[in-house]
Chain A
C-alpha cells in the first residue's frame, strides 16, 4: 500500500527525523490559512499516489497568499497521470544548499533490505543508477538494523563535513527503524536536504507498506485513501480478488491463479487481442467472487467480451460452473462470455453450463481465439 507524502512524513516525524512543518488542505482557502500560520515563501504540493508530480506542475513555490490561492486552486482538481488531486500539502519553503537521496528497499537477491544513499538527490534514483551508478552507495541491513558505524560510512559518502555527517547519521538510523517497524517495502527520503543554515531535513517522503503486513498495523491500514484508487481495484480487494486494469484493452478475463491469469493476458495479446485486465479469483468457486468479478468487468465500458479461464484442480469445475450460473442469474450481462474450463469434474461442469445454453471450451488457445473473434463482432 502506497502512502501519501504527508502520511509518510508523519511516520518520519514520529521516528524523530527532522521534517519541516506542514499541513494538508482540501481547498485553496484552507491552504492559505495554513501558510498564513507557517509563513511565506511556501510550497504547495499535490498529494497523489504517483511519482512525477513536479514535472506535471503539481508542486509550486509561492511568495504570497494571492499566489498560493491561485496555485492551490489550480492543483486541487488537476489530474496527474490519471490521478485526480484531492489534497495539497502546504509547507514553508527551505533555502536548499545540497540535495541528497536516502532510501531503504528490499533486495530480493540477498533476501534482505538495503540502504541506498546518493549525493545526487532530488532526481529519480533509477535515473542515477542508470547514468552514474558510482554515485550510489548500497549497504545491506541485517537483524542488527543499521549499526552506527555503517550509518557513519553512508554519511561520509554523502557529505565531507563532520557537522553535517553528525546530523545525517541519526536520520539514516531512524529511517532504517521506520522501514523495519512499519513493515515497509520502501522508505525513501528524496530529497534529504542540507539548508543554508546547515540543517538536515526530509523534504519528501515515499513509504510503501507491505500489504501482507497490514493486519498487524491497523493504524497504517486505516490510512488507505480509497478516493485515490481505481474503484474496480477497491471492489476487488473488498471481495478478496486480485485485479489490475490494463490500458487500451477490450477483452476482460477472469482466471483462477495469478500465473495463469498473466499467461492468459499474454495469450490474448499473442493472438492479436488486447487484454483489459488481470483478474485472479483465486482457488475459490464462491459465487460471490464470480459475481464481484463480473461486476468489476461490466463497470469497465471498454470490455467487449469476457473470457473465463478456469483450471479445475482442487477447485472443482462444477462448483465454478454453479458459481458462474448463480452470478449470471443475479445480473444482466450483455457482453459475450467465453468459458474455458478444464480439469476436475470438467464433464459435470459442461453439462451444467450446457443446460443453460452455454458452452465451455477445454483448450486455452482455442478459447482465446474465440473470445477475440467475439470481441471483434461486438465492436
Chain B
C-alpha cells in the first residue's frame, strides 16, 4: 500500500481556516485525499468546503477518527500544534510550517522520544502516495502511481525530479519531503527502512543536500540493510562554506556537511550518485535492470542471495538499524539515562 499514507488515511488539517490551510485542504480533497476534519481554536462548528471544523484536535479525533494530521499554523504556534496532535495520539503528524525556531524543535524531538507518533517535517512539502492520498502542498498532477519510492530534504527540487520520473514512465509508490531544517521528525534512515519493507516499492531515490550528516547515515544504512536499488542526488555542490542556502539546515559548517563528502560516501556504499537531476531516471532504470530476475537480489558487496522482493528479513534488519541509529543518538545525550525505546509505528 505504499508507505505512511494511503487510501485508509483520514486526514485532519490543523490551521484549516488560515489562508494556506484552507487552500491546501481543498487541494488535498480534490486530489482524492479523505480530509475528515479541520481544527482552529475558536472556530469549532464551522465548515470549510464541507469539512467540519473543531476547536481541538482531541475532539476532532474523537468525532472523525482522523489518523493523520497536517499542520499549517504559523511558526510561532507550530510547536503547540505538534504537541496537541501528539497528545491526541495521532500516529502521523506532518508539519508543513517553515521557520520554527531550533529550540522549539529540540524540545519537540525530546518529547517525541518514546512516544508512538511519527512527525514528518517541519519545513517540508509533505508526502503523497500517488493516486491514493496527498498530505501537503505538492502539486498532485506531476505524480503518477508506480513503484519508485522518493525521499528528499527539498520541495521544488523534489517536484522537478518527480516530474522527470513521471515523464520517463516511472511512477511513484510514495514521495516524502522530510524537510530542510536542522532537526526534523523523520530522517532519511527512517524512510529507507519503510521503503525497504514496502512490497510496492522496487527502487528508491534519495535527494539530499549540504549540511548535517543524515546522508552519511543513510549511506551506512543502505550498505548493510537495503537490498533495493537506491539512486542519490545531492544539491549544493557550489555552495560556499558557512553560508545558509535558504533551508535552515543547508549549511556547510566547520568544513563538514559538504556535497562532495556526501557524494563520496554514497559511492563508497555502492549507491550511484546522479551528477545532475536528469541522470536520475537512467540510473534508476539501470539499477532495476541490474537487480536481475525477480527473487534474486544483489546484496551490496558482491554477494548474491535469494530473497523474496521486500523480504521480511532484510526489512526487519533495516527497521532495526534505523531505530538503532536513533537510540544511539538518544543515549549519547546523557550516559546516565536508560536507553529509551524509540520504536515507532510505521503505518498509521
Contact = CB atoms under 8 A, between A and B. Distances in A.
Interface residues of A, number: 53
Contacts of A109: 212-213, 217, 329, 332
A344 interface: yes
Contact of B137 (A143, A267, A314, A344): A314
B154 A344 contact: no
Contacts of A108: 182-183, 212-214, 249
Q: Interface SS of chain A: helix, strand, loop or mixed? A: mixed
Interface in B89-147: 99-103, 105-107, 109-110, 137-139, 141-142
Contacts of B76: 215-216
B58 to A, nearest CB: 25
Nearest to A241: B246
A266 B330 contact: no
B121 to A, nearest CB: 14
Given A260-B157, A278-B245, A314-B27, A142 B110 contact: yes
Interface string B46-64: 0000000000000000000
Interface in A255-276: 255-263, 265-270, 275
B235 A213 contact: no
A335 interface: no
Given A112-B333, A263-B160, A265-B238, A211 B248 contact: yes
B293 to A, nearest CB: 34
A311 B160 contact: yes
A67 interface: no
B156 A257 contact: yes
Interface in B152-168: 152-160, 163
Contact of B138 (A255, A259, A313): A313
A24 to B, nearest CB: 25
A183 B101 contact: yes
B333 A343 contact: no
Contact of A258 (B154, B207, B254, B330): B154
Contacts of A111: 105-106, 109-110, 183, 329
A111 B213 CA distance: 12
A180 interface: yes
For chain B, the bracket of interface size reads 35 or more
A239 interface: no
B210 interface: yes
Tell me which of B183, B213, B330 has the highest count of chain A C-beta atoms within 10 A of its own C-beta.
Answer: B183
26 contacts: A108-B182, A108-B212, A109-B213, A111-B183, A142-B110, A143-B110, A211-B244, A212-B99, A213-B103, A216-B76, A244-B244, A257-B157, A258-B154, A259-B153, A259-B154, A259-B156, A259-B157, A261-B245, A263-B157, A263-B277, A266-B276, A269-B237, A278-B239, A278-B243, A313-B156, A343-B142
Given A213-B103, A216-B101, A313-B139, A262 B235 contact: yes
A259 B235 contact: yes
Interface in B249-280: 249-250, 254-255, 259, 275-278
Nearest to A126: B254
A311 B159 contact: yes
Interface in A274-328: 275, 278, 280, 283, 311-314
Interface in A104-154: 106, 108-113, 126, 129, 140, 142-143
A257 B154 contact: yes
A210 B160 contact: no
A93 interface: no
B323 interface: no
Contacts of A311: 156, 159-160, 163
Contacts of B106: 106, 111-113
Given A210-B103, A262-B235, A313-B138, A110 B248 contact: no
B219 to A, nearest CB: 14
Contacts of B233: 263
Nearest to A278: B245
Contacts of A313: 137-139, 142, 156, 159
A129 B235 CA distance: 27
Interface of A: 106, 108-113, 126, 129, 140, 142-143, 180, 183, 185, 210-213, 215-216, 242, 244, 246-247, 255-263, 265-270, 275, 278, 280, 283, 311-314, 342-344, 364-365
Nearest to A211: B248
A312 B110 CA distance: 37
B329 A212 contact: no
Contacts of B198: none
B245 A210 contact: no
Given A108-B213, A215-B76, A262 B103 contact: no
Contact of A257 (B155, B240, B255): B155
B155 A262 contact: no
A216 B99 CA distance: 12
B171 interface: no
A262 B245 contact: yes
Nearest to B106: A112
The 3 closest A-B CB pairs, nearest first, are: A259-B154, A258-B246, A257-B156
A266 B180 contact: no
Nearest to A247: B240
Contacts of B275: 270
B69 to A, nearest CB: 20
A9 B187 CA distance: 37
A185 B181 CA distance: 13
B316 interface: no
A110 B245 contact: no
Given A106-B182, A343-B159, A344-B139, A259 B209 contact: yes
B277 A212 contact: no
B75 interface: yes
A266 B236 contact: yes
Given A106-B182, A263-B160, 10 more contacts: A143-B107, A212-B99, A216-B101, A259-B157, A259-B235, A261-B246, A262-B245, A262-B250, A280-B246, A343-B163
A262 B254 contact: no
B224 interface: no
B247 interface: yes
B240 A246 contact: yes
B181 to A, nearest CB: 9
B155 A259 contact: yes
Contacts of A140: 332-334
Q: Considering residues B23, B110, B236, which has the most beta carbons from chain A within 10 angstroms of its beta carbon? A: B236
Interface in B263-321: 275-278
